[in-house]
Structure 1
Amino acid sequence: MVSTKFKSIVSMTVVMVLVILLVAGFTIQSLFKIGLPLAFLLAAISIPTDATATDAVTDGLIMPKRPNILLKLESLFNDASGLILLSMATLWFQNGYINYQQTLMDFLISAFGGATLGYVSSWLLMMLRQQMFTSKVNFLNNTYNNGTPMKVIFFATPFLIYFIAEEIHVSGIIAVVVAGLVGNTEAQRSKLLNPMVYYDSVRLIEMISEILNGVVFVVLGIVLMRTYRDEQITYGSWTWIYIGIVLYLSNLIVRFLYSKFVMREKAHTAKLFALGGVHGAVTFALVMMLEHATLSTRQFNLAIMSESVLIILSLLVPSILFRFVLDKDVPDDEMIEELTSMRVAMVEHARQQLNEIYVPDRMKPILEYDLNAQIGQTSTRDFIKQWQKASRVVGLDQNQTIFLNEIYHYIFDQERDYLAMIEHRESKYHEVFNILYKEIMMAEMVSLRDDNEE
């Protein structure tokens, strides 16, 4: 997708961000009589958007395909654009002048150097991973290996590439983004080489992303309260609020006009693209980078508070307006009710089919408890009984374990057959079927034990 949308990406992450920088910077300077270098510092920080935050404000709503693609493509690279422009504005602020020729050269070296490093390093690491997947020495090509070396390499790759890029003075963000694009393509064609490694790696990244995003906003809240209590907070009593509003409106208006008249998007798409430019973790991170610049406490506090207003407005405004301009997805309550009902029916079907086959008396309580657990119909008392029984009774022997696994296979096959039987009649709830199929798959994975486990 990135290669086919290259022109749009350059337009959004180079040309449009420069327009935003100029509009926001000169507006702040003229309205609040702030020095132009500081005004451009504040404007540069306001450029990066956060696709994760956009997903949060559109939860439960259907974002049309076109603006959704534009927002995701933009968020891939405008972090780097904002960082480079911030570096330029910081040098201007510190030196009192700007060297346009040197700045342009630094931009080209940083951007293309980062892209080259990201592509080459990710390609080499991709070859290493593929060799490990197919190597008989490491046994990574079978489902009995948990693939710890592969997971370590997968997790360490972005950090390694970023630090190498920064060490040789090219854009670490662009290097990591390009490496991620290469890695995504690799993952699409390698996930069945070792499904367990792929699944664990994806879940690991999702967990870390959620934790880091949560931590960022907790830290933001703490910093806001501490800064608000500082008597040197701003140039005027509420200047930071007004600057934050100007930053948000500058981004909003330029994004709409640029997408409408330059990118030739439809008015509705342009409106969604403008509102979807939500700011989050990267904006806050760029603010904190100013701590190492030669800003006074007063100026640094002004930057924190005004950019915080920008972040809050970019989250709040679309959260309200999207409710009126976007179609609603299947209501959560309705979908949950349907999911629960279908899960119960699925398990009851499997239970009925289980009654038609021979099951040893010793295994019946185990299977009955697990079927009830699938639909949440077990109590703490039931669990204690199962726990006590498992603690006292000798485990199953190898033949019994094999037979129990076969019964589990049969149960999960029956559940899948039931879903396949009714799926064509319930086209409204495709997401429900996806959830249930995943639940069966996960239940099958954790329930089926190795023959020699006992």
Structure 2
Amino acid sequence: MSTVELVSLLLMLGALSGLVAQWLPAAPLPLLQIALGAIVTLPHHGLHVKLDPEVFLLLFIPPLLFADGWRIPKRELYRLRRPILTLSFGLVLVTVLGVGYFVHWLIPGMPLSVAFALGAVLSPTDAVAVSAITRRLHLPAELQHILEGESLFNDASGLVALKFAVVATLTGVFSLRAAGMDLVWMALGGVAVGAALAWLFVRLRQVVTRRLPEDAILHIVVLLLLLPFATYTLAERLGVSGILAAVACGITINFADLERSEHVAERMQQQSAWNIIESTFNGMIFLLLGLQLPAIIGDGLQDHPGGAWSLLGKVVAVTLVLLGLRWLWMSVAVRRSMHTARRRGRQVSQPTPRLVAVATLAGIRGAITLAGALSIPHVLANGSPFPGRELLVFMASGSIVLTLLVAVVGLPLLLRHQPDEADAPRQREMREARVLAAQAAVETMESMDASETTWPRASLHDDVEYAEVATRIALEYHRRIEAHTPEATSAAEMQREHRLEMALRLRCLQAERAELYRLRRVHRINDHSLRELVQEVDLAEVSVRKHLQGTHSQNGGL
């Protein structure tokens, strides 16, 4: 199958899976995509998709990690940093070693370095898959933030560990001291490259948008979409971690965006583009798993002559060890870290046994796991086949499917009686933010006078009209209700009042948005709340500007 045909097929199946998910809301989208891909390819016994491992890694990993770093709420990331880092690095190390030694014992023919590579592949979790399963359940907000932060950083740490395991297999040499030094260099260098490129992009964006404020929007968004790939490629060429570079670049861009509250069109196009890219790339990875599932099963059976049931039993055993290590780590290390955080005065809740079980089953393996498995090279440096590659891909694919199935069954049972009050803090802070934003809009409008607005002044009663319109808008912000249609004696007066009203609304909306960004900068709200609230203001501003343009054209450009 050619690349063009493959991409066309994946896009078509991605759109089809989205429609099917609307008809079957109880089924998570990742499972539907895997099943749909397998159904399509079953008559052909698996589509033999041959993607270069390095190209596959470059295509899927940078945009997904960049988007994770850009979207994750930084306030909660800092507040819950101890349990997040404990999961992202401590659990990854335990998983690599525990799963690696267990697989080497379970399958003696698999080299230890390859077994460690399997452990590294299985380390990253998929918060997107968890959200797809729990979207109609009441997952506690604090746990959701921990899972998002864990998924962000264990993607990077797991894939870095995978790189070391693959290098050890390719060269047959591994030094713990040298690996530790390389890890520090790769990590610090990757973060530095990502932050530096993001800073350069931010400076370029400021210069361009200052000189070409309207025409440059599309070009800026396109450059932003290409930024993760450029960051990853440059970091890898410099010998540092392109994975961490993509994450650091996304986080840096997010902080820089806090100073661009007035760029409405750019922000709306940027968010729409990233929503499409993120959902498309995640879907393509799960569809690729489904498309190749029959071939993966066949290659796995060929690489492991023990039979299908024996191989399936090994996948189940590895998945149980994976979940067991996670449960043990959550029960001991994470509970201890959260207890330490509480003792130091930070308000974090101690997880109950039920929440520990929920967090364990929420350790779903997904897109990054499959991308990491398929990125493993087919041959060694001497041209011989990479030992146990097909078996490794099979074990990783089987663990993805099993963790998804376990979560689909287990999470609804565990969260069935979870109270709805879990999301109250976020709803409360959003209500407070709306009130403060409205107050900022009223204060801005009250400090203005008619001379500060751009509207047609053709009557001796301009000041009276201004006061009437300003009072009406102020009452609307206080009550948040529909504005009354102004009573006027003529169409011209109605038109002038309408334009004045739209101009005042525009200033008020800008004040609302500025206040929301200020609340985010002082950590009164998080990134999720900011994104949702600003989107409301942006949509309102787009509507107001359309009204102004329509009125302007009706008046012949006056």
TM-score (norm 1): 0.71
Is 2:80–2:146's contact at 8 Å kept on the other side of the alignment? no
Is 2:285–2:367's contact at 8 Å kept on the other side of the alignment? yes
**Is 2:329 aligned against 1:253?**
no
**Is 2:236 aligned against 1:147?**
no
The Cα shift of 1:54 comes to 1.6
Is 1:248–1:310's contact at 8 Å kept on the other side of the alignment? yes
The corresponding residue for 1:314 is 403
Decide which moves more: 271-280 or 8-17.
Answer: 8-17
The Cα shift of 1:74 comes to 1.0
| Alignment CA distance shift 1:224-1:235 (3 Å) | same
| Alignment CA distance shift 1:408-1:228 (3 Å) | farther
The corresponding residue for 2:107 is 32
Is 1:46–1:247's contact at 8 Å kept on the other side of the alignment? no
The corresponding residue for 2:167 is 91
Q: Which of the residues 201, 208, 212 maps onto 2:277?
A: 208
Counterpart CA distance in 2 for 1:404 and 1:297 is 75
The count of corresponding residues between Structure 1 and Structure 2 is 372
| Alignment CA distance shift 1:3-1:293 (3 Å) | farther
The Cα shift of 1:436 comes to 9.0
1:44-443 equivalence runs, <5 A: 44-133=120-209, 135=210, 137-138=211-212, 140=213, 144-145=214-215, 147-190=217-260, 192-230=261-299, 232-238=302-308, 239-264=310-335, 266=351, 267-294=353-380, 296=385, 299-326=388-415, 327=418
| Alignment CA distance shift 1:359-1:436 (3 Å) | farther
C-alpha distance after superposition, 1:35-79 (max 9, x if no partner): 322222211110111221121111111211222121111111111
Is 1:224–1:304's contact at 8 Å kept on the other side of the alignment? no
* 3-state SS of paired residue (1:263): helix
Is 2:378–2:389's contact at 8 Å kept on the other side of the alignment? no
Listed as ranges, the gaps of 5+ residues in structure 1 are 331-348, 361-398, 414-429
The corresponding residue for 2:88 is 13
Counterpart CA distance in 2 for 1:221 and 1:407 is 57
The corresponding residue for 1:23 is 98
Counterpart CA distance in 1 for 2:287 and 2:390 is 18
The Cα shift of 1:309 comes to 1.2
* 3-state SS of paired residue (1:43): helix
Counterpart CA distance in 2 for 1:244 and 1:179 is 36
The corresponding residue for 2:343 is none
The corresponding residue for 2:456 is none
Is 1:49–1:78's contact at 8 Å kept on the other side of the alignment? yes
Amino acid aligned to 1:172 = G
Counterpart CA distance in 1 for 2:233 and 2:183 is 18
Counterpart CA distance in 2 for 1:285 and 1:172 is 15
C-alpha distance after superposition, 1:184-240 (max 9, x if no partner): 1222332x2211111110110011111111111111111112233446253422344
| Alignment CA distance shift 1:27-1:203 (3 Å) | same
Identity, % of aligned positions: 25
The Cα shift of 1:407 comes to 12
Is 1:61–1:328's contact at 8 Å kept on the other side of the alignment? no
C-alpha RMSD over aligned residues: 3.7
C-alpha distance after superposition, 1:138-172 (max 9, x if no partner): 2x2xxx55612321222122111111101111111
Counterpart CA distance in 2 for 1:210 and 1:404 is 44
The Cα shift of 1:409 comes to 6.4
TM-score (norm 2): 0.59
The Cα shift of 1:280 comes to 1.2
* 3-state SS of paired residue (2:377): helix
Decide which moves more: 77-86 or 225-234.
Answer: 225-234
| Alignment CA distance shift 1:6-1:247 (3 Å) | same
Is 1:240–1:302's contact at 8 Å kept on the other side of the alignment? no
Is 1:244–1:308's contact at 8 Å kept on the other side of the alignment? no
The corresponding residue for 1:378 is none
Counterpart CA distance in 1 for 2:392 and 2:372 is 10
Is 1:49–1:75's contact at 8 Å kept on the other side of the alignment? yes
Counterpart CA distance in 1 for 2:257 and 2:373 is 34
The corresponding residue for 2:27 is none
Is 1:279–1:310's contact at 8 Å kept on the other side of the alignment? yes
Which has the bigger relative contact order, CA under 8 A and spacing at least 6?
2
Is 1:111–1:174's contact at 8 Å kept on the other side of the alignment? yes
Counterpart CA distance in 2 for 1:359 and 1:316 is 67
C-alpha distance after superposition, 1:95-141 (max 9, x if no partner): 344221221121111111101111222122223323334x2x22x2x
Counterpart CA distance in 1 for 2:146 and 2:330 is 10
Decide which moves more: 212-221 or 253-262.
Answer: 253-262
